[in-house]
Structure 1
Amino acid sequence: FAPIFLILKDPAFLTELAELARRDFSRRDCRSGLIRLIQLRTLDCSGVSAGLSWSGVRILESMSSNRFALKRLAYLAASLIFDNDSAAELLILATNLLRKDLCSTCPVETSSTLCSLASFMTADLAKDLCNDLLSLAASSPHACVRARCTLLLPRLLARFPEAAGLAFASLRDRLGDAHAAVRGAAVCATCELAGSAGANPGACLPLAPALFRLLCSG
């Protein structure tokens, strides 16, 4: 398997893969183009995928697809290729699309959006989507969505610290959620916030009573 692995890592092969992806998009074969982009980003160790800025608009177009299979591929590609800094201006265009997908009646679609959003959340996106995320964490009828929103709170605060008051209130409520998965997500988010670099662990003290109740009831 070693020779095959070396071929897959070869810069010439990766460059050809990038050109094939560009060709697929020009032919409106978005599915094949997205798969090639994902393969390229996964295999690349030589910096070839650093020149994929041209693919940003194509990925956004696919993210707006009504076909979930294509939308999911597009969100995966976005999580691998979009950089918080270089794609910041492009991601401003995605705010309304992200808000629409977060409010989807399909929990799988919402979960896919949340998973990818954690990888490319910018300060502008955090500010614009803060209320939507906190509302989902509090009122979504699906436990998987509430849990994923809760796990996203540390990333939200890293990009938009002004939401600390609302985020900690949401964490306190989620620690008392009826579903164990959501409570577990809240504990994980609390530990991440308390242990993150530059964090103030004292900010988590208001959560101590809820954590103590969990310890006693467990």
Structure 2
Amino acid sequence: MEDTANDIDSRLAVRLRSLRADRGLTLDGLAERAGVSRSMISLVERGQSSPTASVLERLAAGLGVTLATLFAEAEREDADPVARRADQIAWTDPATGYRRRNLSPPGFPSPIELVEVELPPGTRVSYDSSHRAAVVDQQIHLLDGTIELTVGEVTHRLSTGDCLAMRLDRPTSFHNPTDRTARYIVALTTGGQPALNAAKR
């Protein structure tokens, strides 16, 4: 499903409103937890803004979900366990051109989420994942190319075939130092347990 930017923004708006309502959070409450302004959240929920990956990651952290969850469908019992390539949602970060595709079957109940990412040459995408409302673990498997993945103060240089396991509990940065696109798979699980000091965020 090669959605247009407007389609993606509309889907994201509905999903964000739903996730916030499910958690009983007001706009101000989510703004405080996510470190994103109330006005920005309101624009995203009305489909009037194309937020960057960094903003979406902050919103996901404040909601206690993964970034992939923001583009996923709500779980349902009759969901198809197969996600065909043509039906998978793909989203491009307006700030960097970094592209991510949700691989997991939409709406199918599973503790695992799979995402395919394309990181353009010279691109850097950074997240402040220090404060989250839930514990998230992920593994990165590089399909093609090279990336420098910084977790906290440690940088890992990954080449084709390498795999890195990590917890999203500190700032992270993905950098493609080469002149060709890097492709990798991200596998995520959410523990659902509050992270330290999350309630104060």
Question: Normalised by the size of structure 1, how large is the TM-score?
Answer: 0.29
| Structure with greater Cα Rg | 1
Larger proportion of helix? 1
Larger proportion of strand? 2
